[in-house]
Amino acid sequence: MTLFGFWVVFHVIVCIALILVVLMQSSKGEGLAGTAFSSGLSGAVFGGRGAATFLSKATSVLAIVFMLNCGALAFMSSRTRTAAVSPQDVTESVVTREAQKEYEQQMQRQQQQQQMATDSAGQTAEPVDLDELMNPPSDSPAEQ
């Protein structure tokens, strides 16, 4: 596993710990802190106010670690993509490549049809101008 993979696993562990710590904090009601330690164990482990203080400090520390980890993962991810992608791939999209491929196939079909017309008629067929097909001339007097 790469360094990036280990970093992602660490990030997932931090996320789970942060979720659990936030859920264990008591709000106006008991919250999960009272439910999880319903036998009075929270008072024995953390003290009277110790649970709230410990959980709020743990939340702060885990939130800071989470934010720093997000920034580090974003930085590592952007560096990995930049090195793996060539400049041509950045400027050329999949749609552009597919359109180019379709255009080339259309040109090949047209050449084959012209070749078949030439072979069957015994004379050369008049070549078709693709620009004229794509942009037919308009008959409006404004353009003439």
pLDDT in tens, 6-17: 999 999 999 999
60 vs 91, more confident:
60
98 vs 90, more confident:
98
* The pLDDT of residue 41: 47
* The pLDDT of residue 93: 76
Gap between the Cα atoms of 41 and 24, Å rounded? 14
Percent of the chain with pLDDT over 70: 56
pLDDT in tens, 7-55: 999 999 999 999 999 998 876 655 555 555 555 544 545 555 566 688 8
In the predicted model, is pLDDT for residue 125 greater than 60? no
Q: How confident is the model at residue 2 (pLDDT cuts 50, 70, 90)?
A: confident
Gap between the Cα atoms of 5 and 9, Å rounded? 6
Q: How far is CA 100 from CA 9, 47, 114, 127, in A?
A: 41, 71, 21, 21
Contact 51, 42 (CB under 8 A): yes
In the predicted model, is pLDDT for residue 74 greater than 60? yes
